[in-house]
Amino acid sequence: MRGRALLAIPVTRASPGLAEQVRAAREDGADLIELRVDMIGDVDAVESLLRRPHDTPYVLTVRAAAEGGCWDSSDDERVALIERLGLLGPGYVDVELATWNRSANLRQKIGLVCEIGEKTVANTRARNRLILSHHDFKETPAELDECLRALLAVPRAIGKAVFTASDATDALRVLGMLRGCDSGRDVIALAMGDAGLPTRVLASKFGGFLSFAARDADSGSAPGQPSIGDLRGLYRWETITERTAVYGVIGWPVAHSLSPLMHNAAMAAGDIDGVYLPLPVKADYGSFAAFMDYVCANPWLDIRGLSVTLPHKTHALRWLESGGGTVSALARRCGAVNTLTLEPGGAWAGDNTDADGALAAIATVPGFAASELGGRRVDVLGAGGAARAIVAALCDRGALVTVYNRTPDKAERLAAEFGCAWLPWEQRCAGAGEILVNCTSLGMWPETEGTPLPNDTLCANAVVFDTVYTPRETRLMRAARTSGCRVVAGVEMLLGQAVEQYRMWHGGVVPRAVMSGVLAQHLR
């Protein structure tokens, strides 16, 4: 296993000046700087840059339009340009496998500026390393090893295989291809798109030669490249080794999740060698089961804990039950699993921390701790997954719960299961609960003017708990404050359930203040 993978930052535009961009990329921590000549456009500026002394190597790339780049002139002109600029000694030259295979004459020209063959040929005029690349902009095919073998057929070349991930399972398969490469050769294996993020973050863990990160949202050279700030800060790039444990959140979509912020910051504070990633898995049960089955079949992935969010909480319960996994009594009662933990024997266990997170949120109001909820009247708006977990937790503590939902049948079924009351949605304004819990999506971004209750129906001194956390202050919460109610923000439940997950996975003292701090900073 090699050391840390190199980190390349692409330069994709001519302005601001190339020298300024290169200097900034070095300061950001780049080991290599990719010069995307086809995207920069200003060949003279690139040539001028390459003529200057440089300590940080460059990757010279002139990608043809047919290969996903921006070069639209003839291939002969492109190869001539690669040869001309390659003579200036950038350090690395990226050429597509399809281009390489096109003709012996072309290979000879590239060979004049790159080290190829078993030994460096005598007439090599510049000692650049050849990166032989293949990009699939449609999919991650079923057979990956064949592509890798073709890339490594050229001695001394660095093989670079880049695919398009449809979901996180594809990303894991690409990592499997990378790990399975035992040739002793330098290999780059990445997946594009949001689902491909694990391949970029975990390159060092599985022996990749390099990964890419963009300086900002406008300068990436491929879909799904993380920013250099996120890669080095949020995901702690410099700390990732083959021993780093992997955690993540499964959902569809999941890019908006704030869990990576909390868990990565908490692991950093707790000096835990781990990284937590968003893992988008398609919405159907089959996709969820395929992801988990791949994880189980490949323990080398070192995935030890998973948060589960919509729409997979019921899928997680079903998967555990079908495979004989352990499910906590609370998760069964909630009918959903939001936390998966790898047990010492290799089996997976499921639990639900949403319920504890909700109780912890309500307990932020003096006098409303979990042990003080017996006999208190609580109105719950909604009958979905979040409502189910909260109703289960409240009823277990002896609260007198009434459920209101826009679909009466769902409210009636939920109430019957937990032995509480229900009333039609239209009667919610007459509720007289000491606690009001909004479990609907009304008021959630981007429909921020939505609200489940008219302003004038809120009772002073009541506790109003809105589980919506984007935006941090919903219209319902603003109205509640104006009416003299005590307000509980949805971020408190988000924080509470994450704290419980951390406790399950890592034990010890939970750095709750750190998790709360990064959450508040982000939402501000």
Listed as ranges, residues in the chain with pLDDT below 50 are 120-122, 124
One-letter identity of residue 316: A
Same-domain pairing of 287 and 231: no
- Residue 212, beta-bridge partner list: 8
DSSP letter string, 147-164: HHHHHTTSTTPEEEEEEE
Tokens, residue 16: 């601001």
pLDDT at residue 180, as a whole number: 83
β-sheet bridge partners, residue 71:
64
CATH of the domain at 268: 3.40.50.10860
CATH number of the domain to which 363 belongs:
3.40.50.720
Bridge partners of 222? none
Shared-domain flag, residues 304 and 404 = no
Domain count, the chain: 3
In the listed set 221, 242, 263, which residue is the last one of a domain according to the structure? 242
User: pLDDT per residue over 210-233, tens digit each?
Assistant: 999 999 877 777 888 999 999 999
pLDDT at site 486: 95
Per the structure block, which two tokens stand in for 344? 């010492």
DSSP, residue by residue, 274-306: EEEEEEE--SSHHHHHHHHHHHHH-GGG-EEEE
Both 258 and 362 in a single domain?
A: no
pLDDT at 459: 83
Q: Give yes or no for a cis peptide into 452 (omega within 30° of 0).
A: no
Chain mean pLDDT for the chain = 92
519 assigned to some structural domain = no
Query: With contact defined as beta carbons under 8 Å apart, do 326 and 347 qualify?
Result: yes
Task: For residues 391 and 293, state if they share a domain.
Answer: no
Q: Do residues 193 and 334 share a domain?
A: no
Instruction: Note whether residue 522 is domain-resident.
Output: no
446 cis-preceded (ω within 30 degrees of 0): yes
pLDDT at 220: 74
- Among 352, 370, 385, the domain-final residue is 352
Of the candidates 51, 56, 113, the one whose C-alpha atom is nearest the C-alpha of residue 81 is: 113
Q: Nearest Cα to 377, choosing from 397, 404, 355, 399? A: 399
pTM of the predicted structure, to 2 decimals? 0.92
Q: Looking at the structure, do residues 344 and 413 belong to the same domain, yes or no?
A: no
Structure tokens at 12: 């994709």
Residues 257 and 115 placed together within one structural domain of the fold:
no
Q: Residue 510 domain-assigned?
A: no
> Dihedral angle at the C-alpha atoms of 251, 253, 255, 259, nearest 10 degrees?
-30
Write down the pLDDT at residue 121: 46
Residue 191 shares a structural domain with residue 66 = yes
237 and 326 housed in the same domain: no
**CA nearest to 358, candidates 346, 368, 348, 347:** 368
**Nearest CA among 501, 493, 437, 496 for reference residue 465:** 437
Q: Do 235 and 204 touch, CB atoms closer than 8 A?
A: no
CA end-to-end span of the chain: 42
The answer on 266 and 196 residing in a single domain is no
In angstroms, the CA 333 to CA 465 distance is 22
The pLDDT, as a whole number, for residue 224 is 84
- What's at 403, amino acid-wise? V
511 located within any domain: no
**Amino acid code (one letter) for 149:** R
- Do 190 and 120 have their domain in common? yes
Active site (catalytic) residues: 313
Are residues 134 and 281 both part of a single domain? no
Residue 328 in any domain: the answer is yes
Q: Give yes or no for a contact between 201 and 275, defined as CB atoms under 8 angstroms apart.
A: yes
Name the one residue in this structure whose structure tokens are 């109430």: 415
What's the confidence (pLDDT) of residue 2?
62
**Domain containing 383: what range?**
356-488
Side-chain half-sphere CA neighbours of 173 within 13 A:
21
The radius of gyration of the chain's CA atoms, rounded to the nearest angstrom, is: 27
Where is the domain boundary, 352, 368, 393? 352
Pairing of the two strands 32-36 and 58-61: parallel
